[in-house]
Amino acid sequence: MRLLPNDKDIGWVPYIWLVYLLGLLLNAAYVPSTLQWAATILSIAAFLPLYFHSYWVEGRTLLWHIGLIAALGIVVIPFNFWGAVYIIYAASFAGKMARPTTGVRVIAAVLAAFIAETIVLRMPASFPVYVGLVTVVIGTVNLYYGQQHRARKKLAQAQEEIEHLAQVAERERIARDLHDVLGHTLSVIVLKSELASKLVDVDVVRAVH
C-alpha cells in the first residue's frame, strides 16, 4: 500500500517534513510527564494517518482533515507546546485547496483558533507571533506551489488530450486511405470483369488477359 500518490511533484518531501514531530518527542522527554507523553504519543498516532491521507484527498474531505489536524494541535498544546506544529501542518495543506481564496480562509481560521487558545492559556506573546509567522509563510508558499501544481496537471491533461485526438485523427486518415484504396481496387476489378464479359464473345484470349 502506497503512503503517497505516484506524483513526481510530491516526491519524498512529505517524509522530510515529518522531522518536526521530533520536537514533540524531545519536549516530552525534557519535561517528563505521563500525561504529556500520553498526549504526545496518541496525537502522533492520530496525526500520521491524517497526514498521509491528506495527500490523496481534495475538497470537503481535505477540509475535514485540516480541521482534525488543527484540532490535534489545540488539544495537545496545553500539555506540550510543540503541539503547535500541528497548526503549521494544517495550514500547509491549505495549498491543496482548488481556490486560493479558500486556502487563505482556511489558514486564517486555523490561526484564529490557535491565537484564541494562546490568549485563553495566557501564553507569552512571542509564542503565537513566532508560530503565526511560520504558519503564514508556509501556508502562503504552499498556496503558490499548489496553484503551480494544478496548472501543470491541467497542462499535462491538455497535452494528453491533444495526443489522443491526434491518434484518433491518424487512425481516421488511415481508415480513409484504406477505404479509398479498397474502393479503387474493387472498382478496377468490376471494370475489368465487365470488360472481360464483353470481350469473351469477341476475343477469348484478350478476355482472359
Model pLDDT, residue 105: 94
Distances in whole angstroms, Cα of residue 154 to Cα of each of 148, 158, 159: 10, 6, 9
pLDDT, residue 178, reads: 76
Domain locations along the chain: 13-156
Least confident of 3-12, 78-87, 116-125, 131-140: 3-12
Looking at residue 98, its pLDDT comes to 83
Q: Which pLDDT band holds residue 155 (cuts at 50, 70, 90)?
A: low
Q: Which percentage of the chain shows pLDDT scores above 90? A: 48
The enclosing H or E element of 182 equals helix 126-199
Check residue 207 and give its pLDDT.
46
Residue 103 has φ and ψ, to the nearest 5°, of -60, -40
Q: How far apart are CA 27 and CA 40, in angstroms?
A: 9
Given a contact cutoff of 8 angstroms between Cβ atoms, the answer to whether 80 and 23 are in contact is no
Tell me, letter by letter, the H, E, C secondary structure of 131-143: HHHHHHHHHHHHH
Please give the model's pTM, rounded to 2 decimal places: 0.75
Angle, nearest 10°, between helix axes 21-30 and 84-92?
170
C-alpha cell at 147: 496553484
- How much is the average pLDDT of 156-183? 73
